[in-house]
Structure 1
Amino acid sequence: MNTCTPATRVYRPGTERALGLLGGGLPLLALALFFVYPLLSIGWRSFTVDGAGGPTLANYLRLWSEPGIARAAWHSLTMSGTVTVLALAAGLLLAMLFKRSRVRGRRLMFAVLMLPMLAPSLMQGLGLLFLLGRNGLVHRWTGLDTDIYGFWGLVAANAIYALPQATLIIAAALERTDHRHYDAALTMGASPWRQFLDITLAQSRYGLLAAVFVVFSVTITDFGNAIVLGGPYRVLANEVYDQVAGQMDINMGAAVGMLLLLPALASLLVERSALRRAGTGSEHARPADVRPGRGRDLGLGLGSVVVLAPVLAVFATVVYASLVKLWPYRLELTLAHYHTDLPDGYTPIFTSLKLALLTALAGTVLVFALTLLVRRARPSLARGLHVMATLPAAVPGLVIGIAYLMSFNTGPLADMLYGSLFLMAACNLYHYHAQSYLMLATGMRAVPGALEDAVTCLGGGLLRRLRDVVLPFTAPTVASVFFFLFMQSMVTLSAVVFLVTPELNLASVAVMQLDANGFVSQAAAYATCIVASVAAAALAMRVCATLLARHFQRRTPDVA
């Protein structure tokens, strides 16, 4: 019961209402303008043909009449299905290593696992090309005829790309398992293998299902590896890029983009259903107590080395290729490719850094305001806002990039927005909006509602509640969202490839352009610089989150 009376409030209700409207209206307006409007635009353009008078199904009919697109769709499904099986098996092995073993060196293995998240997706393709291409290291060292282009090259590159995401999802599911089940099984004499089948897999089945659909959706829409390694094995991402950038058939590109939207949307719906059925677990659940097991640790350790060795080899080879004079003919070491004499120099990297900072700053503020609005809204309204905030997870980067191209290259907003850093920042934000929102929504649950009511009763307004209650409990999560948006903006490719201009290029796109033009060592150097920048940001995130947690821990009242 709220015993606060109007007489105790010393702030002005009108000011409070204005701040609330501004804080809630701004993120909703941005969501409508930079996500809903572009999505409606690409949907409408997929039903139009240049020169036609009204909506038509001609573009969708062409999807079935052109054999190249049907073949690319089948290739995408086959490739993503194979990647999903491999990434799920490897992710389960690594998750067991991190959560169910005492293997030494797990922190180092975790650092290797995170490498694909620090780089553009095409870096995996570059590394495999340097290793297993026709002029790769393996061919030069052994004389074996190696050819990484095509199906198996895409499978290998995308499996490395998706491995960290699969592992993190499965590891989170294992962490929620109640260890009391293992105690009961041990008492009943169940073998370790029986415990794994009946408890580990059963308890984490919804996490495994979520990992399946996340991996499938991110690999079927991946663009970077398809450009580097696809070769004659064309997938839907190639078709989208060629329709828009090659043939300038934007309407047909919109139709193919809508086709790409279907598996991602299905993945999101299934994942949400799985999470709802999984629930939050028992509040009396006991965390895992990892007992010594020499055979188990030996098996998990050896298996993890086999899985992670290719990841490390791929990234190490890219760094090595950036340090040689002329790949693959003159392998003397040099730093010449880092002292680049290309026309743009390091400008794309500095532009990417500015873009990442703008995305992280504006995105954190907007997502925080939206999360706060959802927290304070009526349940029926909160559910609708939650769906809108998480819907961007179902839109692949290529689709949102094409949607921005269609929505902002003409019309009243074109002169102000197109070709600007601001528009690219908005594109990056809504590409990763759902993940940022879910991170902050989870952190916001730690804020005690009773403490907010107490501050209100003592005369505190919205700003006082934010300063004294909300931020002390959510500061580490806010820092994590900031650096998440920063890191993703540095490595993203598919969402911004259609928005760069000759005057405003980005580092990830520059890597693709350098590789396409034959400057492979410079492409490797650019990719290495991106990894170094994102790794520094990740380290800063860890330090900043730790310092914020310690600072606010001293200020946070004991509400137990």
Structure 2
Amino acid sequence: VISEVIYTLPQAYLIISMALQNSDYRLYEAAKTLGTSKVKQFFTITLPSCKYAVFSTATVSFILAFTDFGAPKVVGGNYNVLATDIYKQVIGQQNLGRGAVVSILLLIPAVISFFFEKSLEKKQRDTFNAKSMNYRIENSTGRDIFFYCFCWLIGLSVLGLFVAAAVASFVKMWPYNFELTLNNYKFFDFNGGAFHFYKNSVTIAMLSALFGTAIAYLGAYICLKTESLTKLRNVIKFFAIVPLALPGMVLGLGYIFFFNMDYIRVPLLGWVGNPFNSIYGTLWILVLVNIVHFFSVAFMTASTSLKKLDKEFEIVSLSMGVPWYKTFFNVTLPLTKHTIGEIFIYYFVNCMTTVSAAVFLYTSKTTLASIAMVNLDEVGDQAKAAAMGILIVGTNLLVKAIYELIKKRYFGRNK
């Protein structure tokens, strides 16, 4: 349970933080003038305005924990879950039919969450419009000390996991010989080997983040800011949630079956050549599976941010004869630039660390650092696996630090 909480925490934090960024300070100012307590302000202003984000967070956290493979596989012991059962059926027993049946069961939460979301969406109202004011945090020493300590507690708990991996990467043989050494990092050869795996991971993560962010944001914009093609928008929303319920290994197996086929059957046309077969075995299939694998959280994050923008922006622009694309670039993008940046970082970090989807699709030329780390662990070389893990974590921290500098310099302070 603890491992799943840590696993789902970043996704939950991303959606909630995006929803809270556009809080209208006028409502809190009026409540304060009327003598409303802070607790009542939370339940009557903050919570109602973020109810869509809260539900999205609950949905994401539940489904991610429900379909997670990594944590149950490593620390679950003999406690079986559906995701690990798929792995046993497909990899261990080569029972593809049974694995497909179990994977269908994993789709049930996505279907249920879709209809709940549609019901809740009808009641969601705009909370940030052209007259809104950014929320201003008031000084409170007691509150600041409490949450400062709370954040440090959470941060140190997560940091402890990375410290253990860092220590393991500098010892001769974990957990038997704790003599310090740098030999575990010597396999990082710039002429090939681990550096080639690392370069593949960075390249694929960057491409996935660029294309994934653009597709997720534009998809959410089309679904929320266009009035026509209602049925098509509902279909898009539904299929945007479905990847969340699919374990990475199910996506990987599906991609093998489809992209490895030379011919596909098309209604009314019969069997025709598969136009997508050419990307099988290349890095582009890994980019594609990563975009789909992490699309749901990115789409929900963008949707949560865009839902809080007043629809009057588009209505006024149309009444004044302003093209939609000018409104998009001059109004919508500037108001949601932080969301776009966070989605990019979310894609990059997850693509650097993913294993489940890519483990069925990589070749000797497209091996990823995360997969190389798993292979090292399987052969019993935990120290070198830890060293590879530290390189991945270091890269993610570096990219995050660069983004924070860019945000501070060009985006301005996020109030």
TM-score normalized by the length of structure 1? 0.58
1:311 and 2:171 aligned: no
* 2:392 matches 1:530: yes
- Per-residue CA distance 1:161-215 (angstroms, 9 max, x = gap): 2122223333444445555555565566555555555555555444333322211
Per-residue deviation at 1:325?
2.0
Instruction: Note the alpha carbon deviations across 1:300-349, whole angstroms, 9 max, x for none.
Output: 33333333321121122212221222212332332221112899433322
Corresponding position of 1:217: 63
- Compare 156-165 and 366-375 and name the one that shifted more: 366-375
SS at match of 2:107: helix
In structure 2, what residue type is equivalent to 1:383? R
Distance, in Å, in 1 between the alignment partners of 2:221 and 2:48 is 36
Report what 1:90 is aligned to: none
Aligned residue for 1:321?
168
The aligned counterpart of 2:251 is 400
Change (3 A) 1:368 1:211: closer
Q: Please list, as runs of the form range in 1=range in 2, the aligned pairs for 1:130-169 lying within 5 A after superposition.
A: 155-169=1-15
Report what 2:284 is aligned to: 422
Q: Which amino acid aligns with 2:260?
A: N
Q: Distance in 2 between matches of 1:490 and 1:218?
A: 18
CA distance in 2, matches of 1:450, 1:248: 57
Which residue in the other structure is 2:200 paired with? 351
Q: Which residue, out of 184, 208, 221, partners 1:337?
A: 184
- Aligned residues with identical type, % of pairs: 30
- Show the counterpart of 1:296: 143
SS at match of 1:231: coil
- Greater Cα offset, 158-167 or 221-230: 158-167
Aligned to 2:101: 255
> CA deviation digits over 1:70-98, x for unaligned, max 9?
xxxxxxxxxxxxxxxxxxxxxxxxxxxxx
Q: Deviations over 1:261-299 (max 9, x none)?
A: 212332344345434423222635555443333333333
2:121 & 2:140 partners in 1: Cα distance? 32
Relative to the length of structure 2, the TM-score reads: 0.76
Count residues in correspondence: 386
Q: 1:480 to 1:198 in 2, by over 3 A?
A: closer
Give the conservation status (yes or no) of the 8 Å contact 1:213–1:267: yes
Q: Check 1:392–1:535 CA distance in 2 against 1; reply closer, same or farther (3 A cut).
A: farther
Which of 357, 376, 387 is 1:495 aligned to?
Answer: 357
Contact 1:169 1:210 in 2 (8 A): yes
Instruction: Give the Å deviation of 1:248.
Output: 1.2
Distance 2:70 2:19 in 1: 29
How far residue 437 of structure 1 moved from its aligned partner, in angstroms, is 5.1
2:110 to 264, 280, 285: 264
- Shift of the 543–306 alpha-carbon distance from structure 1 to 2, 3 Å rule, reads closer
CA distance in 2, matches of 1:377, 1:521: 56
Deviation at 1:404, TM superposition (A): 1.3
**Alpha-carbon offset, residue 259 of structure 1:** 0.8
Distance in 2 (CA, whole Å) between partners of 1:279 and 1:213 is 20
Q: Which moved more, 1:377-386 or 1:519-528?
A: 377-386
Query: Partner of 2:266 in structure 1?
Result: none
Does the CA-based 8 Å contact 1:321-1:524 persist in structure 2?
yes
- Aligned-pair distance for 1:372? 8.1
Q: 1:252 to 1:502 in 2, by over 3 A?
A: farther
AA in 2 matched with 1:249: N
Deviations 1:199-257 (A, max 9, x none): 55555444333322211111111111122111111211111111111111111111111
Deviations 1:405-427 (A, max 9, x none): 32223443486333322211111
Residue aligned with 1:332, SS: strand
Q: 1:330 to 1:488 in 2, by over 3 A?
A: same
Q: Secondary structure at the match of 1:291?
A: coil
> Residue 358 of structure 2 aligns to a residue in which SS?
coil
> In structure 1, how many angstroms separate the alpha carbons of the residues matched to 2:363 and 2:165?
27
Q: Aligned equivalents of 1:453 and 1:197: distance in 2?
A: 40
SS of the counterpart of 1:218? Answer: helix
Q: Does 1:383 align with 2:229?
A: no
Q: CA deviation at 1:525?
A: 1.1
| Secondary structure class of the residue paired with 1:277 | coil
Q: Distance in 2 between matches of 1:286 and 1:547?
A: 22
Alignment root-mean-square deviation, CA: 3.9
1:184/1:450 Cα in 2 relative to 1: closer, same or farther (>3 Å)?
closer
CA distance in 1, matches of 2:54, 2:27: 19
Q: How far off its partner does 1:439 sit?
A: 6.3
Q: Per the alignment, in what secondary structure is the counterpart of residue 536 of structure 1?
A: helix
Residue of structure 1 in register with 2:268 after alignment: none
1:487 to partner: Cα distance? 3.2
Letter in 1 for 2:258: S
Change (3 A) 1:273 1:172: farther
**Displacement after TM superposition at 1:373 (Å):** 7.1
Deviations 1:485-515 (A, max 9, x none): 3333212222222223455322222222322
What are the ranges of 5 or more consecutive residues in structure 2 without an aligned counterpart?
Answer: 264-273
Hey, what does 1:105 align to over in structure 2? none
Which has the higher Rg, Structure 1 or Structure 2?
1
Q: CA deviation at 1:549?
A: 5.6
Q: In the alignment, which residue of structure 1 is the partner of 2:270?
A: none
Contact 1:389-1:437 within 8 A present in 2 as well: no
Q: Look up the match of 1:432.
A: 294
Alpha-carbon distance between aligned partners in 2 of 1:541 and 1:397, rounded to the nearest angstrom: 29
